[in-house]
Structure 1
């Protein structure tokens, strides 16, 4: 099918062994955003001023991490659940390696004339509890998001993309936030129970809000990729187990 032609509806199995022009680039973008969000934003609580409310805390990672969910939506919508599953496992493996590398590099004894070790530990030191919570939340949330989106696409015959992306984000991001914040920060020093659940709910609402705001961009990207690839994938006979990378 030539580029720019109307994409044809195909089963996910039809893609087996076929060359996809942009799939690898989307995978790379997903993994890059995932790693950077975990390094730069996961442990910091920032605050914004809300009229009539005052200062309201939120996790700094909210600024960019939801983009990975939007890319996950694009992957499932354009390439199907199985290929989104492979990307999720790639992201999960990269996160595990990042945590291991951070632990090794921080643990290396610094040179006597290098005085930045405390600052380096503060920025890149990985608390095992936070790493564990992050990986559990990412794995569960991403698979729930992709599963819900794929099922809704079949159920709606591909209509109402906005409803499917927002609906899957409500569920997937809800699972992600519900797992991450209690596992990472409940009863931790500096985190009251109220703060944990305040940030949890705030994160969830802001993530869904990001999805809503970026819906026009999602439409543009999904439409462009479907036309470029020449297919519109439906997971009608897909094996939805998360434990596998076969496509």
Structure 2
């Protein structure tokens, strides 16, 4: 009923949007990467900022998957495919935040507060708002960083493709991710914590650069580590599509940007 290339795009797109959406909402939790892996925090100093460790938002657990999906979609569907999904993702995340804001603002039922975890201080409704609610600056910064990062990623990917052809997918995929995530790591912090807040709560430029560098180191390592996954997905998709269809999609994706 459905052509394989269309069904594949729906599957990849659904996975792409779902991971981006979930990453946005679980990102309110900050976790220690070192402690999670059983190590002591590094506590290093950089740009005059001390006690820097790999304290990351929980969203970084899923964002690497989005990076891989971006490169796979770029490989088979080109710039247009990635841009469509990136714009749609921003719309869906914005819609989700509006709905969550409405849910947080809804008056809780008395029995829900009195019967559900009465030992929680503050009460369950306040906890609900604090868990799901995020500052507007963080939301705006996250969306801007995501969209800018995606557009940079797809552009660098296709630029590198001119030199690599169909070979060396690791080079164009990893290279585009490293460039785009360098930009993403700093854009979100500058928007959310430097430009958006008032003077009293504004981070210094040194702090933004220091924290952004720590975040980028994590993303840099993940981009390298996930390279085998990229090849595995490429292999699975090629088997699903068949050699002829797979090669045609890749040629069309490359030709779209030539």
> Normalising by structure 2, what TM-score?
0.77
Instruction: Name the residue aligned to 1:106.
Output: 104
Q: 1:63 to 1:18 in 2, by over 3 A?
A: closer
1:124-139 superposed matches below 5 A: 124-139=132-147
- Compared with structure 1, are the counterparts of its residues 18 and 55 closer, same or farther at alpha carbon in structure 2 (3 Å cutoff)? closer
CA distance in 2 between counterparts of 1:148 and 1:80 reads 12
Shift of residue 190 of structure 1?
7.5
- How far did residue 42 of structure 1 move? 4.9
2: CA distance, partners of 1:156 / 1:79? 17
Answer yes or no: is 1:231 the counterpart of 2:246. Answer: yes
Asked if 1:200 is matched to 2:212, the reply is yes
**Cα shift at 1:204:** 1.4
* Deviation of the 1:57 alpha carbon: 3.4
Quote the Cα distance in structure 1 between the aligned partners of 2:231 and 2:12. 15
Contact 1:149-1:164 at 8 Å conserved across structures = yes
Deviations 1:183-218 (A, max 9, x none): 112385877434433221111121121111010110
Deviation at 1:147, TM superposition (A): 1.6
Bigger relative contact order, structure 1 or 2, given CA contacts below 8 A and separation 6+? Answer: 1
Residue 64 of structure 2 contacts residue 222 of structure 2 at CA under 8 Å; is this kept in 1?
A: yes
Give the number of aligned pairs.
224
Distance change in 2, residues 1:223/1:136 (3 Å): same
Larger radius of gyration: 2
Candidates 169, 182, 199, aligned match of 1:174:
182
Give the structure-1-normalised TM-score.
Answer: 0.80
Query: Which of the two has greater helix per residue?
Result: 2
Mapping of 1:74-223 within 5 angstroms?
74-113=72-111, 114=113, 115-186=123-194, 192-193=203-204, 194-223=206-235
CA RMSD of aligned residues (A): 2.6
Gap regions ≥5 residues in structure 1: 1-16, 241-247
1:34-65 CA distances to partner (integer Å, 9 max, x unpaired)?
Answer: 01111012563645235684761332222221
Shift of 1:86: 1.5
Unpaired segments of 5 or more residues in structure 2? 35-39, 45-50, 114-122
